[in-house]
């Protein structure tokens, strides 16, 4: 029998385990507060913004409090502390990424409801019912899509309904890995082409306007494609090795029967409509510079067409139900948190401190200069959540740095933009990651990203270093 003493001992142990985590989290916040208060170069608003952002990062990683609630609560905290006005909250819903995601969810539901997602999924499964082959095939399709869809978020929006459909053939743990693997492969393959991300075009434009040099589409293709393929394969191996369940079944059951049944059916009217719509979206995304409408607006136009009464693919009610409003609130609030860092001067302060340190490396060896550039740009996603903002903030300073120490600005810009493409540590650093984060039944935990990034980030820098001193130099790249 269990004695009274043993019961009391068990109770105390349980209480100790219950309270130690909150104590640690409170201690971290207190330490952050003390350190931030002691920073003389930041004004009151900047200190509040920095504390709120670091608090959000801490709570997202260490607690199970809904991510949206954390972000929203800290936005309210900033406003209550008079660091920003209420407009910070109101304008959060006007962010481009918010409407991009609303449209993506609605279009994704249309792809699913029409039956096209199932048809596309079974086409991936057609050649093999082995899960390893399916994952590799899916990753190959995502890498290839970089050449046709000039937007990581657009590629993620197209992939989402397919991943959801494909997930039905996998266990719950395997589904979680799928929702990480898809956006990570999308992000890693972005480096393959000049039009793979808006930050590439911004960086090259700044290069042209500052020093009169440029990087052509073909030159980027020669430098970028081999790296994108290698780093995508490395990411695939790392994710599968770290997260894939070791005791899971390797075979997928009842695939051939379903595939044969689906292939014998002709496309119905809804599938044809959906295919036409997807083609319209891709053309709209690719011709943004011609018509002047951004990717989010083009996506919302697609969503409106999808929900047309009588002629649409889904009705209004179904379309609205398909949107993960929990995730939308999180994205809006988290994006606002990142924007406050820029508006309050925190990012400018970090940039100033960082580049004052870089001046110490004027006479450093080539390998150290390359490493410093890569370290600064690869880690920049941790405090500047917007990919575009990272390019706008860092490229001018890096160009100045290149002129100061007498190195080739074209090489510096290319290395910097490829470095900035790494944004895997936290969901808020990438729209592609956000689309799959807390998305209904199939989602991933933010802690899984931290776990992957702990290994993948140094590997990313290492692969870039190896490429620079081998293939890229052979292909004409020099500092």
Helix count and strand count (H, E) for the chain: 24, 0
The Cα–Cα gap between 122 and 209 comes to 48
Q: Is residue 77 scored above 90 in pLDDT?
A: yes
pLDDT at 383: 73
CB-based contacts of 94, cutoff 8 Å, min separation 6: none
Domain boundary among 73, 92, 111: 92
Domain boundary among 23, 57, 92: 92
CB-based contacts of 61, cutoff 8 Å, min separation 6: 426, 446, 447, 450
Q: How many Cβ atoms are within 10 Å of 86's Cβ, its own excluded? A: 10
Quick check: is 349 in a domain? yes
Quick check: is 197 in a domain? yes
pLDDT at 233: 92
The Cα–Cα gap between 276 and 283 comes to 11
* Between residues 234 and 330, the one the model is more confident about: 234
Quick check: is 81 in a domain? yes
Quick check: is 4 in a domain? no
Q: Do 196 and 81 share a structural domain?
A: no
The Cα–Cα gap between 466 and 460 comes to 10
pLDDT single digits (tens) 30-74: 898 888 888 888 889 989 988 998 888 788 767 777 777 888 899
The Cα–Cα gap between 52 and 381 comes to 17
- Nearest to residue 44, comparing CAs of 91, 84, 3? 84
Give, rounded to a whole angstrom, the gap between the first and last alpha carbons of the chain: 75
Q: How many Cβ atoms are within 10 Å of 263's Cβ, its own excluded? A: 11
Quick check: is 2 in a domain? no
Q: Do 372 and 274 share a structural domain?
A: yes
pLDDT at 276: 84
pLDDT at 1: 45
Contact criterion met (CB below 8 Å) for 81 and 49: no
Per the structure block, which two tokens stand in for 186? 């999308």
For residue 251, the SS3 value is strand
Q: Do 113 and 72 share a structural domain?
A: no
pLDDT confidence bin for 220, thresholds 50/70/90? confident
Quick check: is 45 in a domain? yes
Q: Is residue 14 scored above 50 in pLDDT?
A: no
Q: Do 157 and 56 share a structural domain?
A: no
Q: Do 107 and 88 share a structural domain?
A: no
Lowest model confidence (mean pLDDT) among 112-126, 208-222, 236-250: 112-126
Share of the chain above pLDDT 90, in %: 9
pLDDT single digits (tens) 252-293: 555 555 444 555 567 777 778 888 887 888 788 767 778 878
Q: Do 87 and 154 share a structural domain?
A: no
For residue 293, the SS3 value is coil
Q: Do 261 and 123 share a structural domain?
A: yes
Q: Do 81 and 119 share a structural domain?
A: no
The Cα–Cα gap between 358 and 429 comes to 24
Q: Which residue in this structure is represented by tokens 């706008």?
A: 392
Quick check: is 9 in a domain? no
Q: Do 114 and 27 share a structural domain?
A: no
The Cα–Cα gap between 7 and 134 comes to 52
Mean predicted confidence (pLDDT) in 327-339: 77
Range of the structural domain that residue 180 is part of? 94-479
Query: Please, where are the H alpha helices in 38-95?
Result: 44-62, 67-80, 87-92
DSSP calls for 91-133: HHTT-HHHHHHHHHHHHHHHHHHHTHHHHHHHHHHTT--BHHH
Quick check: is 129 in a domain? yes
Angular region, 312: left φ>0, alpha ψ -120 to 50, beta rest: beta
Q: Do 122 and 69 share a structural domain?
A: no
pLDDT at 342: 76
For residue 441, the SS3 value is coil
Q: Is residue 248 scored above 70 in pLDDT?
A: no
Mean predicted confidence (pLDDT) in 235-244: 87
Q: Which residue in this structure is represented by tokens 């011609």?
A: 290
pLDDT single digits (tens) 351-374: 777 677 766 666 778 888 888 889
The Cα–Cα gap between 417 and 197 comes to 10
Mean predicted confidence (pLDDT) in 123-152: 71
pLDDT at 226: 92
Domain boundary among 71, 92, 113: 92
Q: Do 332 and 310 share a structural domain?
A: yes
Q: Which helix (H) or strand (E) holds 82?
A: none
Q: Do 192 and 62 share a structural domain?
A: no
Highest-confidence segment of 170-179, 240-249, 297-306, 436-445: 297-306
pLDDT confidence bin for 299, thresholds 50/70/90? confident
Mean predicted confidence (pLDDT) in 13-38: 76
Per the structure block, which two tokens stand in for 458? 């140094």
Q: Tell me the CB-side half-sphere exposure of residue 260, using CA atoms within 13 A.
A: 4
- Nearest to residue 175, comparing CAs of 244, 254, 108? 244
Handedness of CA 61, 64, 68, 70 (dihedral sign): negative
**Count of the separate structural domains present in the chain:** 2
Beta bridge partners of 251: 130
Per the structure block, which two tokens stand in for 104? 């993506």
């Amino acid at each position: 029998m269990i004695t009274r003493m043993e019961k009391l001992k068990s109770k105390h142990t349980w209480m100790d385990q219950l309270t130690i985590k909150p104590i640690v989290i409170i201690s971290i916040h207190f330490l952050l507060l003390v350190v931030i208060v002691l920073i003389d170069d930041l004004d009151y608003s900047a200190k509040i913004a920095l504390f709120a952002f670091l608090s959000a990062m801490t709570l997202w990683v260490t607690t199970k409090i809904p991510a949206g609630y954390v972000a929203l609560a800290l936005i309210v905290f900033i406003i209550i502390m008079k660091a920003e006005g209420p407009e910070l909250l109101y304008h959060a819903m006007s962010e481009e990424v918010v409407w991009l995601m609303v449209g993506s969810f609605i279009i994704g539901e249309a792809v699913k409801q029409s039956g096209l997602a199932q048809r596309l999924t079974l086409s991936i499964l057609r050649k093999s019912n082995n899960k390893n082959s399916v994952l590799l095939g899916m990753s190959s399709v995502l890498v290839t899509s970089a050449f046709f869809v000039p937007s990581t978020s657009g590629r993620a929006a197209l992939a989402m309904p397919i991943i959801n459909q494909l997930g039905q053939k996998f266990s719950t743990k395997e589904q979680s890995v799928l929702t990480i693997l898809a956006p990570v492969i999308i992000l890693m393959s972005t480096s393959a082409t000049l039009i793979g991300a808006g930050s590439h075009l911004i960086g090259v434009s700044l290069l042209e306007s500052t020093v009169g040099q440029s990087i052509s589409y073909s030159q980027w293709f020669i430098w970028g494609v081999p790296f994108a393929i290698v780093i995508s394969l490395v990411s695939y191996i790392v994710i599968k090795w770290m997260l894939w369940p070791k005791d899971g079944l390797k075979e997928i059951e009842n695939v051939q029967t379903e595939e044969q049944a689906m292939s014998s059916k002709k496309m119905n009217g809804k599938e044809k409509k959906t295919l036409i719509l997807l083609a319209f979206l891709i053309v709209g995304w690719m011709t943004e510079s011609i018509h002047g409408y951004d990717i989010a607006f083009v996506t919302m136009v697609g969503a409106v067409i999808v929900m047309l009464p009588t002629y649409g693919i889904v009705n209004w009610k179904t379309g609205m139900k398909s949107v993960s409003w929990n995730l939308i609130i999180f994205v809006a609030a988290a994006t606002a948190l990142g924007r406050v860092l820029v508006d309050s001067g925190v990012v400018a302060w970090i940039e100033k401190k960082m580049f004052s340190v870089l001046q110490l490396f004027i006479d450093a060896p080539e390998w150290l200069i390359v490493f410093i550039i890569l370290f600064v740009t690869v880690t920049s996603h941790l405090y500047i959540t917007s990919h575009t903002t990272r390019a706008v903030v860092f490229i001018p300073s890096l160009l100045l740095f290149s002129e100061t120490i007498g190195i080739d600005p074209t090489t510096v810009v290319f290395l910097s933009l490829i470095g900035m493409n790494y944004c895997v540590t936290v969901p808020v650093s990438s729209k592609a990651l956000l689309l799959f984060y807390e998305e209904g039944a199939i989602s991933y935990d933010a802690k899984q990203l931290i776990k992957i990034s702990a290994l993948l980030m140094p590997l990313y820098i290492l692969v870039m270093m190896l490429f620079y001193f081998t293939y890229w130099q052979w292909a004409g790249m020099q500092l």
